[in-house]
Every structure is written in C-alpha cells, then in structure tokens.
Amino acid sequence: MKNKVINILESAQENDATDIHIILESDKSNSSMF
C-alpha cells in the first residue's frame, strides 16, 4: 500500500490536484487503509 501512495505522490507532480483527489477517493472505496 505504501508503494501505491508513493506513486500517487510522484504522479501529483504531473497531474492536476483534482485527478489525485479522484484517485484517493476511489482508493477509499476499495480499501479501509485510507
């Protein structure tokens, strides 16, 4: 799971914050870790 978070943070430099927010929200639906 940590690697997934790191990938999201790294991609945040290339994508809009809105896209990252969508990714995080979709992860919340799939995992209680967030």
DSSP, residue by residue, 6-34: HHHHHHTTTS-HHHHHHHHHHHHHH-TT-
pLDDT at 12: 64
List the domain boundaries for the chain: 1-29
Is the whole-model pTM more than 0.85?
A: no
pLDDT at 29: 64
pLDDT at 11: 72
Spatial contact of 20 and 8, defined as CB atoms under 8 Å apart: yes
pLDDT digits (tens, 9 = 90+) for 1-34: 678 887 777 776 665 666 666 667 766 666 555 4
